[in-house]
A and B are shown apart, each in its own frame.
Chain A
Amino acid sequence: MKREAQIALITGSSRGIGKAIAVKLADAGIFTYINYRQNERAAIQALGEIRERGGEGELCPFDVTDLAATKGAIEKIAREKGRLDILVNNAGIVIDGLLVRMKEVDWECLIDTNLKGMLNCCQAASRPMIKQKWGRIVNILSLAGEMGNAGQVAYGATKAAVLGLTKSLARELGSRNICVNAVSPGLIETDMTASLEDEVKGKIRGQIPLGRVGRPEDVAGAVFFLVSPEADYITGQIIRVNGGLYM
């Protein structure tokens, strides 16, 4: 099936999992907007990689925690391209620490980006998707939101909240042929997990049935499936990409 007319926005896609998703979608002929907040250099690199591979895309910097900026950016895409088909809510931050030692500002930041940011993007993208009566939204969750993880109480809470968001939004938008799903990665090799000590990683690896840490491309594959015509009858679901670490 030809997909050349499709337009996608991937939040936080200058590097890591977001970048892998952007590359994967662009490889399939989807016009991909690379969103980032600060790291312009990485975003330019990501776009360069997409173009080198023959894909098409554009940079789309905005801060997902800022509703007005998010709405402005998404309205601009819808105006310029006439539509927005795919939204991948990938932008997220992690601040680890035992709850007793965490500061209020830590969970405020986590909630602002990981939860409010997704609400902002979903609201802004819903408008054009409802109008065109078609859309695919994929939210990136985390193992910590499902299984729980010591040291990630606030982070896990935001990710669990996004699961609730995903299911309710899937119900709200189903009648407009808009599918809302989630992909929940386990331990993936990215900048976000680079700070984990090797000993910790080794311990986790020992519990992964597939015996290895995941790659951003593993997650991108699941996202790609969910936005492809093969997944047209799937909504409100969660796909876990964790090597079997949590089932």
Chain B
Amino acid sequence: MWMPLLGLLFGAILGSAISFEIPIAYAKYMSIAVLASLDSVFGGIKSVLEDRFDGFILLTGFFSNTLLAAMLAYLGDKLGVDLYMAAVFAFGVRLFQNLATIRHHLISRTLRNLGPDKR
């Protein structure tokens, strides 16, 4: 149960520990990658709560989303249009939706557990 949180912590420590720094020119792509990975995390949790979890789908979704967003951002750079904003927007909206669904499931589940005792 605590593994994902520990993993997040481990990743954060690893990221700050390594001296490697991504060039500022790629900061845009990085922001999309961050959003894509966060989206995958919340999407994964949501699917777990909905009992529809599939590890393969999660991972492929993560990579394809990131790749697509990166390509979009690259294209936007070439065209002079901030297309990466579309990715940011899409991921942001999905993040909130996933969060809402997770909250919904958690609350209903807790209420269901508490229900019989309360009555």
Partners in one complex: no
